[in-house]
Amino acid sequence: MHLGIDFGTTRTVVAVADRGNYPVVDFLDLDHDYHSHFPTVSALVDGKLVHGFAAQTAARSGARLIRSVKRHLADPDLTLESVIDVDGQQIALLHLVTSFFTALREALQQSSTLPEGEPIGAVIVGVPAHAHTAQRLLTLEAFRRAGFEVGAMLNEPSAAGFEYTHRQHRTVTSRRNCVLVYDLGGGTFDASLVSVENADHEVLGSVGINRLGGDDFDLLLADLVLEKAGVREQDLPERALDELVEQCREAKEGLTPQTRRLGVEVGDQMVALDVADFYRASTPLVEQSLQVMEPLVAGLDAAASDLAGLYLVGGSSGLPLVPRVLRERFGRRVRRSPYPGASTAIGLAIAADPEAGYTLTEQLSRGFGVFREGDAGREVRFDAILAPDHRVSVTDEVVVTRRYRAAHNIGWFRFVEYGRLDDAGQPVGDLSPRGELIFPFDPELRRGQDLLQAPVVRLEQGHLVEEVYTVDPHGIITVRVTDLDDGFSVTAQPRAATAAS
Ligand SMILES: Nc1ncnc2c1ncn2[C@@H]1O[C@H](COP(=O)(O)OP(=O)(O)OP(=O)(O)O)[C@@H](O)[C@H]1O
Ligand SMILES: [Mg+2]
Whether the Cβ atoms of residue 229 and residue 247 lie closer than 8 Å to each other: no
Count of C-beta atoms within a 10 Å radius of residue 378: 8
Ligand 1 proximity of 314 Cβ (cutoff 6 Å): yes
What are the residue ranges spanned by the domains of the chain?
2-212+282-362, 214-281, 364-492
DSSP 379-393: EEEEEEEE-TT-EE-
CA distances to 35, 82, 186 from 315, rounded to whole Å, are 15, 28, 7
Q: At a CB cut-off of 8 Å and minimum separation 6, what does 291 contact? A: none
Question: Which ligand 1 atom sits closest to the C-alpha of 215?
Answer: 29
Q: Which atom of ligand 1 is nearest to the CA of 340?
A: 18
What is the Å distance from ligand 1's center to 322 Cα? 12
Most ligand 1 atoms within 8 A of CB, residue of 5, 6, 11 to mutate = 11
Q: Is 70 in the pocket of ligand 1 (CB under 6 A)?
A: yes
Residue 185 CA to ligand 2 centre (angstroms): 5
Percentage of the chain modeled with pLDDT above 70: 97
CATH superfamily of 2-212+282-362: ATPase, nucleotide binding domain (3.30.420.40)
70: CB partners within 8 A, 6+ apart: 7, 8, 9, 40, 187, 188
Whose C-alpha lies nearest to ligand 1, atom 9?
A: 315
Determine the average pLDDT of the residues in 438-453: 91
pLDDT of residue 211: 82
**384: pLDDT strictly greater than 90:** yes
Beta carbon of 186 within 6 Å of any ligand 1 atom: yes
Q: For the chain, what is the mean pLDDT?
A: 91
Mean pLDDT of 49-58: 97
For ligand 1, say whether the CB of 252 is within 6 Å of any of its atoms. yes
| Nearest ligand to the CA atom of 341 | 1
Q: Is the pLDDT of residue 281 over 50?
A: yes
pLDDT of residue 498: 38
Query: Topology of 364-492 in CATH?
Result: Substrate Binding Domain Of DNAk; Chain A, domain 1 (2.60.34)
Neighbours of 324 (CB within 10 A): 14
Give the percent of the chain with pLDDT over 90.
Answer: 71
Closest C-alpha residue for ligand 1 atom 2: 253
Ligand 1 lined by 251 (C-beta under 6 Å): no
Question: β-pairing, 178-184 with 189-197?
Answer: antiparallel
Positions of E strands within 46-139? 48-51, 65-67, 83-86, 89-92, 122-127
The least confident of 52-56, 294-298, 300-304, 407-411 is: 300-304
Distance 20 CA to ligand 1 centre (A): 27
Distance 58 CA to ligand 2 centre (A): 25
Give 473's pLDDT tier (boundaries 50, 70, 90): very high
| Per-residue confidence (pLDDT) for residue 496, from 0 to 100 | 39
214 C-beta closer than 6 A to ligand 1: yes
Q: What is the pLDDT of residue 302?
A: 66
Q: Given pLDDT bands bounded at 50, 70 and 90, which one contains residue 172?
A: confident
Radius of gyration of the chain (CA): 24
Let me know the angle formed at the C-alpha of 478 by 413 and 129, rounded to the nearest 5 degrees.
110
Q: Are 123 and 143 in contact (CB under 8 A)?
A: yes
Q: Average pLDDT of 211-216?
A: 92
pLDDT at residue 279 tops 60: yes
Tell me the residue type at 194.
V
* pLDDT (0 to 100) of residue 377: 60
- Ligand 1 atom 21: the closest Cα is on which residue? 8
Ligand 1: residue whose CA is nearest its atom 29:
214
Which residues is 313 bridged to in the sheet? Answer: 183
Question: How would residue 370 be classed by pLDDT, with cut points 50, 70 and 90?
Answer: very high
Confidence band, pLDDT 50/70/90 cuts, at residue 387? very high
Please give the distance, rounded to the nearest whole angstrom, from the Cα atom of residue 315 to the centre of ligand 1.
3
Q: Please state the atom number of ligand 1 nearest to the C-alpha of residue 10.
A: 22
d(CA 480, CA 153): 23
Among the ranges given (301-315, 371-385, 413-427), the one the predictor scored with the smallest mean pLDDT: 371-385
**Residue 500 clears pLDDT 50, i.e. is over it:** no
Higher pLDDT among residues 416 and 305, named by residue: 416
pLDDT band at 501 (very low <50, low <70, confident <90, very high): very low
Ligand located closest to 187 CA: 1
The CB density around residue 336, as the number of other CB atoms within 10 Å, is 16
Q: Is the pLDDT of residue 483 over 80?
A: yes
Neighbours of 169 (CB within 10 A): 13
CA of 175 to the centre of ligand 1 (A): 33
Q: What is the pLDDT confidence band of residue 210, given thresholds at 50, 70 and 90?
A: confident
pLDDT at 499 over 60: no
Among 7, 10, 313, residue to substitute to test ligand 1 (most atoms within 8 Å of Cβ) = 10
User: How far is residue 363's CA from residue 420's CA, in Å, rounded to a whole number?
Assistant: 14
Instruction: Decide the pairing of beta strands 11-17 and 2-7.
Output: antiparallel
Distance in angstroms (rounded) separating the CA atoms of residues 56 and 53: 5
Average pLDDT over residues 462-486: 95
Q: Span 370-397, mean pLDDT?
A: 85
Q: What is the pLDDT of residues 102-148, one digit of tens each?
A: 999 999 999 999 998 889 999 999 999 989 999 999 999 999 999 99
Q: Which atom of ligand 1 is nearest to the CA of 252?
A: 4
Residue 497 has a pLDDT of 36
The larger pLDDT score, comparing residue 143 to residue 436, is at 143
Q: What is the predicted pLDDT for the residue at 439? A: 93
User: What CATH number does the domain located at 214-281 have?
Assistant: 3.90.640
Q: How many Å lie between the centroid of ligand 2 and the Cα of residue 484?
A: 44
pLDDT above 60 for 316: yes
